[in-house]
Chains A and B, each alone.
Chain A
């Protein structure tokens, strides 16, 4: 089955800095890669996703890049703000089943 590795487990940055979270996956059939943000006391919420026919996608301060050859994808957050502090999960799923395999999460702390 699919295996998703996520790094780092904890990331601490100063407000205004950029943050990068990286994930690797094992199943070359995976074609959908969402990123979720989980704020304290809440369930995870989709913030951005990318499909395997696209190399990069951007939404304001958030971008995701995908390297299918190397089987890795990354989340980039620019100009971080304290409200970006949360746990971020990457996931990968294949084909039409859309049953995702999640990474173990990254706790992002943005210091004011």
Chain B
């Protein structure tokens, strides 16, 4: 089975802190994604990557950056956390040729 793991299930940070969320997949998938999930808004794409060191902006990239130094690892970075970034963050991966996405369990981030 494909496994996508996220470094933390719950995280509490202060406004202005730099926050790193890490995601690792074990199935050699080319594509990796970061989503933000908020009630009533569904899943919104922050960034995605289709190869090592490659990244593309999604629908809501402002305030975020990403890093993909290795194929299996995709990191989301909040350069200076703000309260409006309090949310559930989901990582996903997929094969380039098949649309099915495999999601991690999510990280619930609270910014105080």
Q: Do A and B come from one complex?
A: yes
Question: DSSP class of A's interface residues: helix, strand, loop or mixed?
Answer: loop
Complex formed: what's the CA distance from A41 to B48 in Å? 23
Closest to A103 in B: B42
Q: What is the total number of residues of chain B having a CB less than 8 Å from a CB of chain A?
A: 22
Bitwise interface map of B from 37 to 69 toward A, beta carbon under 8 Å scored 1, else 0 = 000111101001000000000000000000000
How long is the Cα–Cα vector from A49 to B94 in the complex, in angstroms? 14
- Contacts of B101 on A, CB cut-off 8 Å? 34, 36, 44, 46, 100
The CA-CA distance from A53 to B82 in the complex, in Å, is 45
Note all chain B residues with C-beta closer than 8 A to A43.
Answer: 4, 90, 92, 103-106
Interface check A61, CB cutoff 8 A? no
In the complex, whether A99 has a CB less than 8 A from a CB of chain B is yes
- Does A41 contact B105, Cβ atoms closer than 8 Å? yes
Residues of A within 8 A of B45 (CB): 99
Q: For B42, what are the chain A residues with a Cβ–Cβ distance below 8 Å?
A: 6, 89, 102-105
A49 in contact with B100 given A44-B43, A103-B42 (CB within 8 Å): yes
Tier of interface size on chain A: 20 to 34
**Interface hub of B31, B41, B43, B102 (most chain A Cβ within 10 A):** B43
A21–B98 Cα gap in the complex (Å)? Answer: 24
Q: Among the listed A9, A34, A102, which residue makes an inter-chain contact with B100, where contact means beta carbons less than 8 Å apart?
A: A34
Within 1-28 of A, Cβ neighbours of B (below 8 Å) are at 6, 9
| A-B interface, 7 closest residue pairs, ranked by CB to CB distance from nearest | A43-B103, A104-B42, A98-B99, A32-B99, A102-B43, A44-B103, A105-B42
* B interface residues (Cβ-Cβ under 8 A, vs A): 4, 31, 40-43, 45, 48, 90, 92, 94, 96-106
Q: Hey, which bits of chain A sit against chain B, CB under 8 A?
A: 6, 9, 32, 34, 36, 41-46, 49, 89, 93, 96, 98-100, 102-105
